[in-house]
Amino acid sequence: MELRGAFTALSTPFKDGEVDESTYRDFIEWQIEQGIDGLVPCGTTGEAATMSHEEQGRVIKICVDQTKGRVPVIAGAGSNSTKEAIELTKMAKDAGADAALQITPYYNKPTPGGLVAHFKAIAEAASLPLVIYNVPGRTGLNCLPSTLKMIKDAVPEAIGVKEATGNLCQGAEVVELCGRDFTLLSGDDFTVLPLLAVGGSGVISVVSNIMPKAMSDMCSAFFDKDHEKALELSLKMAPVNRAMFMETNPIPVKTALDMMGVFKDAQFRLPIVPLLDENKPKLEAVLKTAGLL
């Protein structure tokens, strides 16, 4: 399957401590209306780490049901336990997801051979296209291009990587070693445009929660060889990108969704807490300058 363009790592609205299904469906609909190319429920931005398996399955089902095949759904289904990742991937497959986002096992720090065995076991138990999620800042492990090549060769279901190192040399080497048929997606909103230039296919984005049209249009402009427009949109999003990481993701983006009225209330689950009071006017100022308020 081809994954191309801007995919939103969806924030999950909560109400009274539970998933707010109505708001989530409205949010998904707005994303599609704004022209987003794909959706990613239950990622880091969606606070999947604080969800039960039952909740995670329900959120994926809601997303698939609301999307109705209009754009691809890549469901977060990874874990540092291979057994648990298999269970989550089966659940994503049963829900009708088009692919599964698979984080490299965090904390365990497996060897390259362990990574290959991990993803191979998932694919054998629940055959579904897999996008490897490489985010060493959260996992403590960098899945190098040579290791990705090993995974690709051993696991046909592994179709791409969400590359969140911010290292353009590493991104370029992924394309070199794994080939153009292996999808390279940026996992870092700061590097989308330059990563496209070295052979990337798009992004799994945080900022597209609040700027879906701008991110999708930037990718489309690049593919249409309108590099001036792509650069213009990249520069427009740059200060918003920085604001989305003034505190740990997803705190700023969820607060921004609340400020914009997309979410009715920005509720978080511990250990994530609300944005610091002193940062709220800073975030509001950035959103106003970007024309989002």
pLDDT of residue 2: 82
C-alpha neighbours within 13 Å on the C-beta side of residue 139:
25
pLDDT in tens, the chain (293 residues): 789 999 999 999 999 999 999 999 999 999 999 999 999 999 999 999 999 999 999 999 999 999 999 999 999 999 999 999 999 999 999 999 999 999 999 999 999 999 999 999 999 999 999 999 999 999 999 999 999 999 999 999 999 999 999 999 999 999 999 999 999 999 999 999 999 999 999 999 999 999 999 999 999 999 999 999 999 999 999 999 999 999 999 999 999 999 999 998 889 999 999 999 999 999 999 999 999 99
* Interatomic CA distance for residues 71 and 33, integer angstroms: 11
* Eight-class DSSP state of 73: B
- Residue type for 100, please? A
Record the tokens describing residue 40, joined without a space.
Answer: 């990613």
Helix residue ranges per DSSP H, the chain: 21-33, 53-67, 82-95, 112-125, 136-139, 145-154, 168-178, 192-197, 212-223, 227-243, 251-259, 280-289
**Which residues carry out catalysis?**
133, 162
pLDDT of residue 258: 97
Burial track 100-125 (b if 16+ CB lie within 10 A, e otherwise): bbbbbbbebebeeeebbbbbbebbeb
**Residue for token pair 């489309």:** 220
Distances (CA, A) of 192 to 2, 83, 106, 197, 201: 18, 33, 24, 9, 9
C-alpha neighbours within 13 Å on the C-beta side of residue 46:
31
Mutual orientation of helices 53-67 and 82-95 as an angle, nearest 10°?
Answer: 30
Burial track 74-96 (b if 16+ CB lie within 10 A, e otherwise): bbbbbbbebeebbbbbbbbbebb
SS3 47: coil
Residues in the chain: 293
pLDDT of residue 138: 93
Contact assessment for residue 19 and residue 55, using Cβ atoms and an 8 Å cutoff: yes
Start-to-end C-alpha separation, the chain: 37
